[in-house]
Amino acid sequence: GAGVSQSPSNKVTEKGKDVELRCDPISGHTALYWYRQSLGQGLEFLIYFQGNSAPDKSGLPSDRFSAERTGGSVSTLTIQRTQQEDSAVYLCASSLGGRAADTQYFGPGTRLTVL
């Protein structure tokens, strides 16, 4: 596609429910990243996928967070048993090859509100 797309754009859920957020990267991009943007914390890295390699999960804040990437394209970020502190904008980015020199292109984000 022309850019990174994410769905839904907004998600409101109740505390304790599970949510799934979807990311469609730019076609042909092998690297995919998830970040979280919250008040007071700024932008935080969550997880990174590169091709068929094991993902870098070093930024995931707890074991309630997980992500997968199917067929090297679409990715889903799952948050189990959501908590109010999970409220944030979740951003997905993709880059051509995952190298430091490759620009990361960001999607519009999913705004998650946990009541």
Query: Footprint of another protein on residues 72-111 (CB under 8 A)?
Result: 91, 93, 98, 100-101, 103-109
Q: Work out whether 45 is an interface residue with another protein (CB under 8 A).
A: yes
Q: Are 48 and 63 in contact (CB under 8 A)?
A: no
Can you tell me the distance from the alpha carbon of 86 to that of 76, in angstroms, rounded to the nearest whole number?
Answer: 16
Can you tell me the distance from the alpha carbon of 39 to that of 45, in angstroms, rounded to the nearest whole number?
Answer: 15
Q: Are 35 and 46 in contact (CB under 8 A)?
A: yes
Nearer to another protein, 19 or 46 (CB): 46
Query: Footprint of another protein on residues 21-40 (CB under 8 A)?
Result: 31, 33, 35
Can you tell me the distance from the alpha carbon of 114 to that of 98, in angstroms, rounded to the nearest whole number?
Answer: 32
Q: Work out whether 9 is an interface residue with another protein (CB under 8 A).
A: no
Nearer to another protein, 41 or 78 (CB): 41
Among 48, 60, 79, 86, binds another protein (CB under 8 A): 48
Structure tokens at 34: 């998830």
For residue 111, how many other CB atoms are within 10 A of its CB? Answer: 15
Structure tokens at 10: 């907004």
Q: How far is the CB of 8 from another protein (least distance, A)?
A: 15
> Which residues form the interface with another protein (CB under 8 A)?
31, 33, 35, 41-45, 48, 50, 56, 58-59, 91, 93, 98, 100-101, 103-109
